[in-house]
Amino acid sequence: MSKMRYSRRSLLKGGAAAFAASALPAPMIWAQEIKDVTLRQFGTGVSNLNEVAQKVKEDLGFTLEMTALDSDAVTQRAATQPDSFDIADIEYWICKKVWPTGNLQAMDTSKILNYDKIVGIFRNGKLTPDSVIAQGTAPHSVGFTSGPGGTDFVAEESGWMTLIPTIYNADTLGIRPDLIGRPIDTWAELLNPEFKGKASILDISSIGIMDMAMVCEAMGEIAYGDKGNMTTEEIDKTFAIFTEAKKAGQFRAFWKTFDESVNLMASGEVVIQSMWSPAITAVKSQGIPCVYQPLKEGYRSWGGGIGLSKNLSGIALDAAYEYINWYLSGWVGGFLMRQGYYSAVPETSKEFMSADEWGYWFEGKPAAGDILSPTGQKLAGAGDLRDGGAFGDRMGKVACWNAVMDENQYMVRKWNEFIAA
């Protein structure tokens, strides 16, 4: 058996198409065996969707078990319970924390069929050759390691990836235009006393601190050296500003997962808050106006990818590579792009979206007809434009990436104090 497996693996290595290989008689047996494989994946509710698991069963034959958790629980499990998963669906800043534990194994890019089509952000950090790399933990900086077994990060494309990028987006503030009734164009509005008791921020330290920094910088209160790597003094100042606002009753609540933000926004408890793209989609699909407001200071961006547990080997590892190749082959990308995210390999996703969907979500063109959510609710009508416009406009205006800084532990303690204050 193992011989057949290896022969197939070398086929893959040789770049032969995965689907052609399965037509050969020998891998037919292998294909039977792979059906018994069960891979346990966990991650945030953002992309750990059962529909993906169903499609995997349909297309690839093996079973994918999905567990959805919040970001902190995800970090915790990836760092402390390596036996509890096979595939980790995590964000790049989490990777910066988790990779050095050695719980994940490096992935051979030569086995990734669409590697060359992955957008530049995840390879050399540049969207276009002349882009400037934003502050924070940019995905490419923690995307590669020195080789199999490596627990370090290397700057160049070494052929060994820590995470295979899957989705990413540029985040900004979400607003209820009907309840605000005037244009919003800067991050500073989050702390505007006009929205006292009607603002919210997310309670995930590594992400929340970046939103805070965007606000403080926009208010002109603090000039950061590097928002993605603050000094303790900058951290103190940032928290001082937000603690004061908190005590003055600026915030209605803090949220931890994007669905909480949906409920806050949809019920009108909050009119301006940090928000993620699918949350906007979800609010809109309830028929409530909600805008993902582009702001003049730019976006705070994040990227997610899948990593493999160090315990994966043999046929399960083969199945995992097959899964990764499938992930990048377009169906998932299209599925996620319809919720407002971007796929790491946009061109493959294009085939799984209608021309109108592609135009609306990716190219920033006016919708020709109704744009529907993956569950069939209407999100936009003819002539509507995506907030923020085209892919290049949105991802081109990233001011910083979600980050883990050198002073992270200090920041975390301060964050804890802020929440408790």
Partner 1 sequence: MDRFLKSPNVTGWLLAAPLSVVLAVFLILPIILIVIVSFWTATEFSIVPAFSFENYRFLFGSAVTWSVFLNTFKYAVITWAITLGLGFTIAYFLAFHVRSQGWQTALFLLCTIPFWTSNIIRMISWIPFLGRNGIANSTLISWGVIDAPLEWLLFSDFSVILAFVHLYTLFMVVPIFNTMMRIDRSLLEAANDAGASGFQTLVNVILPLTKSGIMIGSIFVVTLVMGDFITVRFMSGSQSANVGRLISNDIALLQYPSAAATAVVLLATVLITIGVLLRLVDIRKEL
Partner 2 sequence: MDPRPRSFYVLATVFGLFLLFLYGPTLTIAILSFQGPNGGLTFPMRGVSLHWFRDLFQEQAVGDIWGGFRRSILLGLMVMVTTVVVSVMGGLAFRKRFVGAGVLFQLVIASLVIPSILVSLGVGLMFSQGGLGVHWATSGFGAQLTWTLPFGLLIMFAVFNRFDPAFEEAARDQGASPWQTIRHVVLPIIAPSLIGVALFGFTLSYDEFARTLLTAGSYNTLPLEIYGMTTNVTTPVIFALGTMTTVFSLIVIASFLLAVRVMDRRRARAGSDAGKGV
Considering only residues 34-73, where is the footprint of partner 1 by CB under 8 A?
72-73
Q: Concatenated DSSP letters for 370-400?
A: -EE-TTS-EEE-TT---TT-SHHHHHTTEEE
Q: What tokens does 122 get? A: 């995840």
Considering only residues 69-98, where is the footprint of partner 2 by CB under 8 A?
69-70, 80-81, 83-85
Phi-psi label, residue 382: left if phi above 0, alpha if psi -120 to 50, beta otherwise: beta
Considering only residues 242-261, where is the footprint of partner 1 by CB under 8 A?
246, 251-256
Alpha carbon 85 to its chain's center: 19
Of 220 and 376, nearer to partner 2 (C-beta) is 376
Of 48 and 135, nearer to partner 2 (C-beta) is 48
7 binds partner 2 per the rule CB under 8 A: no
Evaluate whether 215 touches 192 at the Cβ level (below 8 Å): no
Alpha carbon 126 to its chain's center: 17
Of 117 and 413, nearer to partner 2 (C-beta) is 413
420 binds partner 1 per the rule CB under 8 A: yes
263 binds partner 2 per the rule CB under 8 A: yes
How many chain residues are in contact with partner 2, going by CB under 8 A?
Answer: 30
Least distance in Å: CB of 283 to partner 2?
Answer: 9
Rounded to whole angstroms, what are the CA distances from 100 to 40, 94, 206, 255, 289? 22, 11, 18, 29, 43
Residues 6+ apart with CB under 8 A from 181: none
Cα–Cα distance between 337 and 332 in angstroms, integer?
8
Give the DSSP H or E segment for 164. strand 164-175
Cα–Cα distance between 228 and 45 in angstroms, integer?
25
Answer for which of 50, 81, 84, 416 binds partner 1 (CB under 8 A) is 416
Give the DSSP H or E segment for 51. helix 50-60
Answer for which of 110, 232, 267, 286 binds partner 1 (CB under 8 A) is 267
The label of the residue with tokens 């900086």 reads: 141
310 binds partner 2 per the rule CB under 8 A: no
- Burial bucket for residue 390 (CB in 10 Å: 0-12, 13-18, 19+): middle
Q: Which stretch binds partner 2 (CB under 8 A): 2-10, 201-209, 245-253, 262-270?
A: 262-270
Rounded to whole angstroms, what are the CA distances from 177 to 68, 182, 270? 31, 7, 12
Of 141 and 281, nearer to partner 2 (C-beta) is 281
Of 240 and 412, nearer to partner 1 (C-beta) is 412
- Burial bucket for residue 33 (CB in 10 Å: 0-12, 13-18, 19+): middle
**DSSP class of residue 43?**
E
Q: Which stretch binds partner 1 (CB under 8 A): 127-135, 264-272, 287-295, 385-393?
A: 264-272
Of 282 and 367, nearer to partner 2 (C-beta) is 282
Of 347 and 406, nearer to partner 1 (C-beta) is 406
Alpha carbon 98 to its chain's center: 16
Q: Which stretch binds partner 1 (CB under 8 A): 47-55, 140-148, 318-326, 410-418?
A: 410-418
Of 68 and 319, nearer to partner 2 (C-beta) is 68
Answer for which of 75, 105, 135, 257 binds partner 2 (CB under 8 A) is 257
Evaluate whether 63 touches 39 at the Cβ level (below 8 Å): yes
266 binds partner 2 per the rule CB under 8 A: yes
Q: What does 40 bind: partner 2, partner 1, none (CB cut-off 5 to 8 Å by kind)?
A: partner 2
Answer for which of 10, 50, 54, 101 binds partner 1 (CB under 8 A) is 101
Site string for partner 2, 35-74 (x = CB under 8 A): -----x-x--x--xxxx--x----------xxxxxx----
End-to-end CA distance of the chain: 61
Evaluate whether 39 touches 316 at the Cβ level (below 8 Å): yes
Partners of 398 in beta bridges: 299
Q: What tokens does 387 get? A: 């907030």
Q: What does 415 bind: partner 2, partner 1, none (CB cut-off 5 to 8 Å by kind)?
A: partner 1
Least distance in Å: CB of 36 to partner 2?
Answer: 18
Least distance in Å: CB of 211 to partner 1?
Answer: 15
Query: Could you tell me which of 154, 168, 153, 152 has the C-alpha nearest to residue 118?
Result: 168
Contacts with partner 1 by CB under 8 A lie at 72-73, 75-76, 79-80, 97-98, 100-101, 197, 203, 205, 246, 251-256, 263, 267-269, 404, 408-409, 412-413, 415-417, 419-421
Contacts with partner 2 by CB under 8 A lie at 40, 42, 45, 48-51, 54, 65-70, 80-81, 83-85, 256-257, 259-260, 262-263, 266-267, 282, 286-287
